[in-house]
Structure 1
Amino acid sequence: MEFLSNYGLFLAQAVTIVVAIIVVLVAIVALGSKGKGGDKGQLELINISESLDAVADDFRQTILSKDELKKRAKDKKQQAKENKDEVKPNLYVIDFNGSMDASQVESLRREITAIVQCAEKDDEVLVRLESPGGVVHGYGLAASQLKRITSRDISLTVAVDKVAASGGYMMACIADKIVAAPFAIIGSIGVIAQIPNFNKVLKKNDIDFEQVTAGQYKRTLTMFGENTEQDREKFQSEIDDVHGLFKDHVAKHRPALDMDKVATGETWYGEQAIDIGLVDELSTSDDWLLEQVKDKTVYLVKYSVPKTLTQKLGKAASASIEESVTSLWQKASQWRSF
């Protein structure tokens, strides 16, 4: 009887804990859902010039002697006095790290909207671009956003440290200048589409598949239907059309390119890309910025949406689970080593 009593008490406690957890989760979801639909993003303007100066000053405090620091402070004060009436042009920096669905276009749109409303005659824009490409419509829109800059006669430079391929290069070629690191991956002016087909599996298991369409080419290749040679030809024709649009787009903005040579879907490293005209200068974005900061005031323009409570808790829970799994895996590895 004592065992049953203790077991019943344990069961009641367990049920209470589970119910409490469910109530808390429901409350969190409800709280995180409140106020959805409004624009809760924030546009930040960060002075990179000041940040770079601060880093350099901190470093000099360690490596220079007191006399050297004193002399430098005096020279800096004199220089500031001489240039007190000088107004430097601005260089606005945007970071674009593109995913397959180009979801970052929304932030890009807002950042560019802010810049084109405020940029003066001699101001410039730098986009630090990293993307292996993705969906046609997403990157087509991203390229159109960059075109908003150049169409207003604002100088645009794109810097690529790692990769600007396919849709990434569709964006990059809009720029007046493309700067690439020596081993950055550039190019891939081509189009790809892949569709698995399970029709044979369905037939093998006596499963029928029906599809009703209106319009001869509403569907061509499908995942579950039996594809015909006519379907394949039409699909290939559509891919060729997109490739043609891509080549026309690149040729319009970089007319000196040999399209027969570069529009094969291949990629090149920066040191190769400069020889065939895909990029204009070899440099990392860091070195390029250090040169620009001498004559310009550099600002980072960043639009971000704060994470909701649900997202923050979800991230924390994910990190906790990952930590637990890692810990268990390490323990299991230790056990196997005995």
Structure 2
Amino acid sequence: MTSRPLKKILTSIARARADRIAVVRLDGVIGGLGPGRNGMTIDRLEPVLRRAFELDRLKAVALVVNSPGGSPSQSEYIAGRIRQLATEKGVRVLAFCEDVAASGGYWLACAADEIFVANTSVVGSIGVISSSFGLEKVIDRFGIERRVHTAGENKHRLDVFQAEQPEDVAWLEGLQGDIHAAFISWVRRRRGARLAGDDAELFNGDVWVGRRAVDLGLADGVGMLRSVIAERYPDAEIEPIAAPKPLLARLTSSSRLTEGVVTGVIDAAEARAAWSRYGR
């Protein structure tokens, strides 16, 4: 009969020798939302990703994705860094989509070799969106005159306090088209022959729920992180890789205590709007 202290020691030794699965959460809006905000950026995630891929006896990295998207550039940087590390270390990457993996969130999921969804996950939104307001009538009502001076005829476009110009809209649509093409190219490169729908269906900015995303080849199967890991790597230990808290958050328990109230409200509204597009 093994004594309790000895059993504990043996368990510790077994764990120390076990293969490991690093788990990285990619949670929230992608990109900086202003000073001190906590959107996902490559600078913020770099130390987390490095720690994940540098674990001893690493068998795989699991990405837990829950994001409505955000900055295309930050999505590209983060996903590209994941692929770079995976190639360097020769490690397989699995993505698990929680509530939402849409737009930039799906871009991140495509950094994985396989994508798993829940039956209720919202996945896709392979498109580009821009939004603003038209406030020219507001300043007219109050007799306010807008004054803007630039060097460069195209420096001043789509000012919310001036009437929208067709040539400016055409310019914006051109930018969106280029970003959309880059997004589509990434999805095709990562998903390849697994894509089952046609371009008009897959790349029109729509989203799908769980099983339908699998049917279209946007995901590989329905499965939860722990059940898939237990099946694929039954003897491995799951190792969550937590992001370090910013210094102000550690000192104050809330970084928002030191942030401007107006900026905080605006950023919160923008983040909420991003989530609300997918019913979350």
Partner of 1:280: 220
1:173 is the counterpart of 2:110: yes
Larger radius of gyration, structure 1 or 2? 1
Corresponding residue for residue 159 of structure 2: 222
Relative to structure 1, is the Cα distance of residues 195 and 313 closer, same or farther in structure 2, using a 3 angstrom cutoff?
closer
Task: Please report how far the alpha carbon of residue 310 of structure 1 lies from its aligned counterpart in structure 2 after TM superposition.
Answer: 3.4
Report the Cα distance in structure 2 between the residues aligned to 1:263 and 1:314, rounded to whole angstroms: 37
Q: How much has 1:141 moved relative to structure 2?
A: 2.3
Once the two structures are superposed, the pairs formed by residues 210-289 of structure 1 within 5 Å of their partners are: 210-256=147-193, 257=195, 258-289=198-229
Percent of residue pairs identical: 25
Q: Does 1:89 align with 2:31?
A: no
3-state SS, counterpart of residue 242 of structure 2 = strand
State whether residues 30 and 104 of structure 2, in contact with CA within 8 Å, keep that contact through their aligned partners in structure 1.
no
Do structure 1's residue 187 and structure 2's residue 187 form an aligned pair?
A: no
Runs of 4+ in structure 1 over 6 Å off: none
TM-score scaled by length of structure 2 = 0.75
Q: TM-score, normalised by structure 1?
A: 0.63
Q: CA deviation at 1:299?
A: 1.1
Is the 1:188–1:265 contact (alpha carbons within 8 Å) kept by the matching residues of 2? yes
What do residues 256-288 of structure 1 show as CA deviations (whole Å, max 9, x unaligned)? 224332111000011101001000011122322
1:302 is paired with a residue of what secondary structure? coil
Contact 1:163/1:185 (8 A) holds in 2: yes
Partner of 1:26: none
Structure 1 unmatched runs, 5+? 1-69, 316-338
Q: Distance in 2 between matches of 1:166 and 1:286?
A: 25
Aligned partners of 1:130 and 1:162 also within 8 Å: yes
Alpha-carbon separation, structure 2, partners of 1:116 and 1:265: 32
Q: Cα–Cα, structure 1 residues 124 and 100, in superposed 2: closer, same or farther, change >3 Å?
A: closer
Deviations 1:224-251 (A, max 9, x none): 1232111111111111111111111111
Counterpart residue number, 2:77: 141
Decide which moves more: 169-178 or 240-249.
Answer: 240-249
Distance (whole Å) between structure 2 residues aligned to residue 232 and residue 313 of structure 1: 38
Q: What is the letter of the counterpart of residue 95 of structure 1?
A: R
Q: Is the 8 A contact 1:273 1:279 kept in 2?
A: yes
Report the structure, 1 or 2, having the larger helix content: 1
